[in-house]
């Protein structure tokens, strides 16, 4: 919800006062309105705007507001024009309820959040012998979508599709391997220990 397009002259719902895009530095800018999708700069701008939306406390209200108004430009609630158009087509064709549309919005957010993580993982790793994977980046932590990851945390989330709970460790005997299937988190080790004890 950039103030440049959705101005306070509209009927202003209360949720807008909590909008992250009204923060200093963003308020009144075109950050949520990349001029296209072809250039790398446009794609990075869109990805950054979406990442901010995903952490915005009113993202769901914003996305639903833009869908209801058939906004045909800009990013709202973490959804770009194409995503909103596709969601609208699906909602009409399948006669989806508001709750079902909200579930689809969350699914799009999850997919979009994962994309930059997967890109970082692919850019930073080499496949080794025996199914091991080596991290070739030199940094000990990486910031992706506003979150900070160690290489093992990042590899775990890419492979397992969820954030790790507790420390991530290798289970293959290679202390620096980041093959996601060779990584476990505290929750997995706890479950495994309890299942083993119960057997």
Residue with Cβ nearer Zn ion (3 or 174): 174
Q: Which stretch binds ligand SF4 (CB under 6 A): 17-25, 33-41, 136-144, 153-161?
A: 17-25
What residue ranges bind Zn ion (CB under 5 A)?
A: 132, 172, 174, 177, 179, 182
Extract long-range pairs of 21-30: CB within 8 Å, 24+ residues apart. 21/49, 21/52, 21/53, 21/56, 26/2, 26/52, 27/3, 28/2, 28/3, 28/4, 29/2, 29/4, 30/2, 30/4
Closest distance to ligand SF4 from the beta carbon of 38 (Å): 22
By CB under 6 A, residue 46 contacts ligand SF4: no
Half-sphere exposure of 164 (CA within 13 A, CB side): 27
Q: Binders of ligand SF4 among 52-91, rule CB under 6 A?
A: 52-53, 56, 58-59, 62, 76-78
Closest distance to Zn ion from the beta carbon of 128 (Å): 8
Closest distance to ligand SF4 from the beta carbon of 62 (Å): 3
Separation CA 138–CA 158 (nearest Å) = 19
By CB under 6 A, residue 108 contacts ligand SF4: no
Q: Which residues contact 75 (CB under 8 A, 6 or more apart)?
A: 32, 33, 34, 46, 49, 50, 53
Binding site for ligand SF4 (CB under 6 A): 1, 19-21, 32, 52-53, 56, 58-59, 62, 76-78
């Amino acid at each position: 919800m950039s103030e440049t397009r959705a101005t306070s002259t509209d009927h202003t719902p209360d949720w807008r006062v909590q909008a992250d895009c009204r923060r200093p530095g963003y308020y009144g800018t075109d950050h949520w309105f990349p001029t296209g999708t072809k250039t790398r700069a446009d794609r990075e701008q869109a990805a950054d705007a979406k990442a901010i939306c995903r952490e915005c406390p009113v993202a769901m209200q914003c996305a639903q507001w833009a869908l209801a108004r058939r906004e045909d430009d800009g990013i709202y609630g973490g959804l770009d024009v194409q995503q909103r158009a596709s969601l609208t087509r699906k909602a009409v064709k399948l006669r989806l309820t508001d709750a079902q549309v909200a579930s689809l919005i969350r699914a799009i957010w999850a997919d979009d959040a994962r994309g930059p993580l997967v890109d970082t993982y692919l850019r930073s790793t080499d496949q080794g012998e025996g199914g091991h994977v080596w991290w070739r980046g030199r940094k000990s932590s990486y910031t992706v979508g506003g979150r900070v990851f160690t290489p093992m945390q990042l590899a775990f989330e890419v492979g397992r599709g969820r954030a790790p709970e507790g420390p991530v460790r290798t289970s293959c005997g290679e202390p620096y391997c980041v093959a996601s299937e060779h990584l476990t988190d505290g929750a997995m080790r706890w479950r495994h220990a309890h299942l083993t004890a119960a057997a």
